[in-house]
Amino acid sequence: MDCNVFNPVDLPCGRTIENRLVKTAMYEHMANFSGGPPNEFHYGLYSEWAKHGWGMILTGNVQVSPQHLTLGRDIVVPPTLNAKDLKPFERLAEVIHGVVDGTRSLAIMQLSHAGRQSANFIGGRLPFVPPLAPSSVRVGAGHTESCGRGAISDLIFHALFQVPTEMTTLDILYVQSSFVRGALLAYKSGFDGVQLHAAHGYLLAQFMSHKSNIRNDEYSVAPENVTRMLSEIVKAIRKVVPTTFIIGIKINSADYITYGGAEEVYQEGERRVLDHIHTIASWGVIDFIEISGGDYEKPDFMACSGSQKLDRQAFFTRFSRTVMKDLYRSPVPFSSVPLILLTGGLRSHSHLQAALMSKHADLLGIGRGAVLCPDLPEILRLQLQNSKSSSTWADRPFAHEPEAVFRASKWVPSVGLIGAGVGTAWYTTRMRDIAISQIKNPRAEPPPVDYNRGGLIAVFKMWAWFDSRIVPIWVLGIFMVLIVTAEVFYQH
């Protein structure tokens, strides 16, 4: 069977990816509480992926601001880049580069700033200190009736997120310089490149969305301003790194301004994003653009492939196909065309093949599949070698998704964040199992998946880890109930 998953491809900067399989960015929940450098657990986890021949391995989001974390145990860019600060990052780059059968995975650090989606108490700020964002619009404020706005979703959004403080021009310049410091960190510590996280409702996406950016200045969402924040960061990074340093961007397939609204409104959002991508490509300095979708109000990127809301299995294929067509048929040809990385719901070999053959994507991002099967590239390669014209295995999913996560997404269907939260917990605990198994025995096979782990158990295991050695679990539980209650009272 003709298949080009394992064909190498060149990036515009001149670097080559040895195959099309990309382990996409996934937050690990392994750094110190309130953020820190990578540690033994990260090395264990990434050494497992590095063994199996992924073309490119992206880290989970590395935060450029220690005051704007996601779930509290994020890797953080240090304030200075001296030899001591660089060491743990150098080690992580080395681990990712570990050469297997001639495949040297490219190591890409994902840089992010959570902006208004940095939650209270765990986001790295003092309690009740609001995060920074383009405008003072709280997460959840755009949740409409049609998407099930109600007491539960209001309560959750009020409990977790504060009304952010609108950024001044000085704040904007400072954040830009933090992204540049992040890119320098990646470069100096031996990473091959960075990916700027401008999807999933984080700060760079907030600047590009009508629902979170209501500014009237040069950083507004007016067409001439909407990509300014991103373009200034990219230009500043390009000035301090060599031309062979890879720069990618992760972007949403729509700007998520409306929920449950008419299809035309959604398509209007897609057209706007297509314009953003066109502008980004016209800069001529971006190597790859990853297509994803969703934010904390509507976490489509964490949809289960069996969910009814997103019954397409490869969630964002239609949009990525439109992007590919648009880039290659542009009336004004670009000096270099970024590669398109499609992520979300790629679950079988036939998905991968179809995406490449139908020119929906150049690169294939795999998240949860890579956690269930870290050795996926090897499995695919073997299947390919052993089969002449088999279509039976081609349609077989890489691995089962956990039932517990499907069930959790139905608990409170109008609050997608709950299902996404349980999913994150389930997969981070699986990542921890892999890390621990590698630390114990670096030659061990990936540990079997624990399909009996329920959603609540996963949430508990995620949060009680480490902290339980310092504080008894019941104290932690009472503390968490108290802080959520205090926050709800404070917001009302």
Ligand X SMILES: Cc1cc2nc3c(=O)[nH]c(=O)nc-3n(C[C@H](O)[C@H](O)[C@H](O)COP(=O)(O)O)c2cc1C
Please give the residue ranges that form the binding site for ligand X (CB under 6 A). Answer: 24-27, 60-61, 110, 197, 200, 250, 292, 301, 343-346, 366-369, 423-424, 427-428
Residue with smaller CB distance to ligand X, 283 or 301? 301
Q: How many CB atoms lie within 10 A of CB 84?
A: 10
Residue with smaller CB distance to ligand X, 131 or 201? 201
Residue with smaller CB distance to ligand X, 25 or 139? 25
What are the Cα distances from residue 389, in Å, to 23, 377, 384, 464? 27, 19, 9, 49
- The alpha-carbon radius of gyration of the chain (Å, integer) is 21
Instruction: State which H helix or E strand residue 428 sits in.
Output: helix 416-440
User: What's the closest the beta carbon of residue 482 comes to ligand X, in angstroms?
Assistant: 27
User: What's the closest the beta carbon of residue 358 comes to ligand X, in angstroms?
Assistant: 18
Question: Torsions phi, psi of 249, nearest 5?
Answer: -135, 135
User: What's the closest the beta carbon of residue 424 comes to ligand X, in angstroms?
Assistant: 4
User: What's the closest the beta carbon of residue 348 comes to ligand X, in angstroms?
Assistant: 12
User: What's the closest the beta carbon of residue 112 comes to ligand X, in angstroms?
Assistant: 7
CA proximity to 392, closest of 379, 381, 383, 382: 383
Residue with smaller CB distance to ligand X, 24 or 317? 24
Q: For ligand X, which residue has the nearest CB?
A: 367
Residue with smaller CB distance to ligand X, 220 or 417? 417
Q: How many CB atoms lie within 10 A of CB 69?
A: 28
CA proximity to 33, closest of 121, 99, 101: 121
Residue with smaller CB distance to ligand X, 61 or 135? 61
Identity of the residue numbered 193: G
User: What's the closest the beta carbon of residue 25 comes to ligand X, in angstroms?
Assistant: 4
Identity of the residue numbered 334: F
User: What's the closest the beta carbon of residue 87 comes to ligand X, in angstroms?
Assistant: 23
Q: Which long-range contacts (CB under 8 A, 24 or more apart) does 234-239 make?
A: 234/196, 234/283, 234/285, 234/286, 235/283, 236/176, 236/177, 236/179, 236/180, 237/179, 237/180, 237/183, 237/194, 238/285
Q: Which two tokens mark 143? A: 């949740």
CA distance linking residue 282 with residue 485, whole number of Å: 49
Distance, C-alpha 288 to centroid of its chain: 14
Residue with smaller CB distance to ligand X, 220 or 253? 253
User: What's the closest the beta carbon of residue 294 comes to ligand X, in angstroms?
Assistant: 8
Residue with smaller CB distance to ligand X, 162 or 429? 429
Task: Report the residue count for the chain.
Answer: 492
